[in-house]
Amino acid sequence: MRKSFSGFMLFVLLVLLAASSWAHAEEDELHVVVSIKPVHSLLTSLMKGVGTPELLVGKGKIPYDWKPTEEQKAHMRSADLVIWDGPELEKNLVPVIESLPKNVRVLTLLDSLDLKILPSRWDDTKRDPYFWLDSRNALMLIDTLTKLLMDMDYSRAHVYKRNRDALFAKVAEVDRRLEYGYRGLKGGVVLAYYDTQQYFEQAYALKLGGVLSPSPDVPVSAAKLLKERHKLQEGWYACLLTEAGMKMPALDLLLSGVDINRAELDSFGSTLEPGEGLYLQLMDHNTDLIKACVQKTAKNLETEAPVAAEATPPGNTHGVGGRFLLTDQNGRIVTDEDMKGKYQLIYFGYTYCPDVCPTSLNVMMTALKKFDPEAKRIQPYFITVDPQRDTQEVMKDYVEYFGKNLIGLRGSQAMTDRVIKEFNVVVEKVVDDPKHPEKYLMDHTASLYLMAPDGRYITKFAHGIGPSQLVEKLQEYVSPNP
């Protein structure tokens, strides 16, 4: 009887311990509150299997005319982490954020140094809040959020890392498809009612010819309205972009007597169901609509990306690299043989590149400062695809901006064409304005090439990789110090 009673007490003790453990696990679950749906979508994917972040601005709503409820304010005060864009977008959150207890961690995304944040085109004291519409920013944000979650919840770091890898692959695929598939956007100039597309414009060559207002908070001026209406009547624009959920009181007057293609974008995903798939749906939705609005068919959209992908060899392709003779920014001759002895990280671009090249070079040099600050194992190179404008003097000033270890290389046009061919780099000269042919752009493959100390091709890192992820990848391929 005594033995049976002891067994029963042991069973009760185990049950109590288990209940305590379950309760402790529930208490340990991170309580994360997120303001807008695109960021909530990425975070939901990262927290899969751990918990679900709370969304503030729900379906059918946009941040401009939204105010948090008293219940939402209470949830923010009890949260472990609150993530919002910043005052440029969620002005009604400012007093709530300022009053949160000190134990609530706050991430203001527009303050992030890991993201490419553009200034407002209307007020240089403010920032453009639509950073997620450049999928490369989404890739960098994924890494930023993953590190934050792992720091706050280290016991589940392996879960966040696994979720991060799966999500990163999906977004990187979207980024590659957009990088190669949207050259057709150059076929038509677009008018936007609200200024939501600056990031998309810079990243994917959208030709945005005019904008009526920065946001629903700013009425369209009469002078701006009349000017853009006249341009619509004259046929300046191929398409008008509007935004779901944003009131447009001047729209009827703008379009009176005008026949123009229209596309209603959904940059907040306000019409979409919140959750882990929303970000990818949002990007596909907007880009498909823009493509169709400038009179490109869905069939074109599907066929362009595979063609471009075939022009760029996969990572296991042999024969990348070859023999060449170039000149560095100091006038010294550099051959492929001279580059041997160290690993080489090579980027092809040009100094007049408005956005992609500076971003890629900054990522490369930031990663190398962490991984190999004195360039003892890896030598970074920047090879211009535009020798006509990128003289030795221009290259010297340009590379010095990114760091003392970066070597800039240029050659004759014939030698440049040869190097481009040897590395399977896709380059296309684009003249947007026939009246000013000297202001051309150079569409080009934006990947980083890693070459072995003996000159063999090792792998290629796709454009959009963040500095931290590049460091991790280099650790996989580059031998440790002897």
Sheet strands side by side (includes 407-410): 333-335, 325-328, 407-410, 378-384, 343-349, 448-451, 457-461
| Average confidence (pLDDT) over 141-161 | 95
Count of structural domains within the chain: 3
Look up residue 155 and give its DSSP letter: G
Residue 268 resides in a domain? yes
Lowest-confidence segment of 169-173, 273-277, 302-306 by average pLDDT: 302-306
Q: Say whether both 240 and 351 belong to one domain.
A: no
Q: Is the pLDDT of residue 442 over 70?
A: yes
Q: Say whether both 300 and 190 belong to one domain.
A: yes
Distance CA 436, CA 18 (A): 75
Which of these three, 126, 156, 179, is where a domain ends?
179
CATH code of the domain in which 376 resides: 3.40.30.10
pLDDT-derived band at 101 (thresholds 50, 70, 90) equals: very high
Q: Is the pLDDT of residue 300 over 50?
A: no
Coil, strand or helix at 145: helix
- Percentage of the chain beyond pLDDT 90 is 55
Q: In whole numbers, what is the pLDDT of the chain averaged over residues?
A: 85
Look up residue 127 and give its DSSP letter: B
Residue 78 resides in a domain? yes
pLDDT-derived band at 432 (thresholds 50, 70, 90) equals: confident
Distance CA 202, CA 198 (A): 6
Which of these three, 179, 214, 237, is where a domain ends?
179
Say which residue, 82 or 308, is predicted with more confidence: 82
Positive or negative, the Cα torsion across 397, 402, 407, 409? negative
Q: Say whether both 51 and 159 belong to one domain.
A: yes
Q: Say whether both 249 and 330 belong to one domain.
A: no
| Average confidence (pLDDT) over 132-136 | 92
- Is the separation of the CB atoms in 217 and 64 below 8 Å? yes
Hey, which bits of 162-245 come out as E strands? 190-194, 208-213, 239-243
Q: Say whether both 456 and 444 belong to one domain.
A: yes
Residue 11 resides in a domain? no
Q: Is the pLDDT of residue 390 over 90?
A: yes
Residue 6: per-residue pLDDT: 54
Q: Say whether both 128 and 207 belong to one domain.
A: no
Residue 320 resides in a domain? no
Residue 26: per-residue pLDDT: 43
Q: Is the pLDDT of residue 257 over 90?
A: no
Q: Say whether both 46 and 157 belong to one domain.
A: yes
Tell me the backbone φ, ψ of residue 365, rounded to 5 degrees.
-70, -35
Q: Is the pLDDT of residue 156 over 80?
A: yes
pLDDT-derived band at 482 (thresholds 50, 70, 90) equals: very low
CATH code of the domain in which 246 resides: 3.40.50.1980
Residue 13 resides in a domain? no
Distance CA 83, CA 106 (A): 6
Residue 117 resides in a domain? yes
pLDDT-derived band at 356 (thresholds 50, 70, 90) equals: confident
pLDDT-derived band at 436 (thresholds 50, 70, 90) equals: confident
Q: Is the pLDDT of residue 1 over 80?
A: no
Residue 317 resides in a domain? no
| Average confidence (pLDDT) over 23-43 | 82
| Average confidence (pLDDT) over 429-445 | 83
Task: Determine the structural domain holding residue 468 and report its residue range.
Answer: 325-477
Listed residue (467, 304, 312) closest to 380, CA to CA? 467
* Number of residues written out for the chain: 482
Residue 422 resides in a domain? yes
Q: Say whether both 420 and 383 belong to one domain.
A: yes
Distance CA 228, CA 240 (A): 11
Q: Say whether both 118 and 72 belong to one domain.
A: yes
Element (H, E) at 413: helix 413-422
| String of DSSP letters for 32-46 | EEESSHHHHHHHHHH
- Is the separation of the CB atoms in 83 and 39 below 8 Å? yes
Residue 164: per-residue pLDDT: 95
Which of these three, 254, 282, 311, is where a domain ends?
311
Model confidence pLDDT, tens digit, residues 237-251: 889 999 999 999 999
Lowest-confidence segment of 173-182, 213-222, 419-428 by average pLDDT: 173-182
Q: Which residues contact 192 (CB under 8 A, 6 or more apart)?
A: 208, 210, 211, 212, 240, 241
Q: Say whether both 139 and 208 belong to one domain.
A: no
Q: Which residues contact 286 (CB under 8 A, 6 or more apart)?
A: 133, 200, 265, 266, 267
Lowest-confidence segment of 116-125, 203-212, 415-424 by average pLDDT: 203-212
Q: Say whether both 117 and 204 belong to one domain.
A: no
Residue 292: per-residue pLDDT: 85
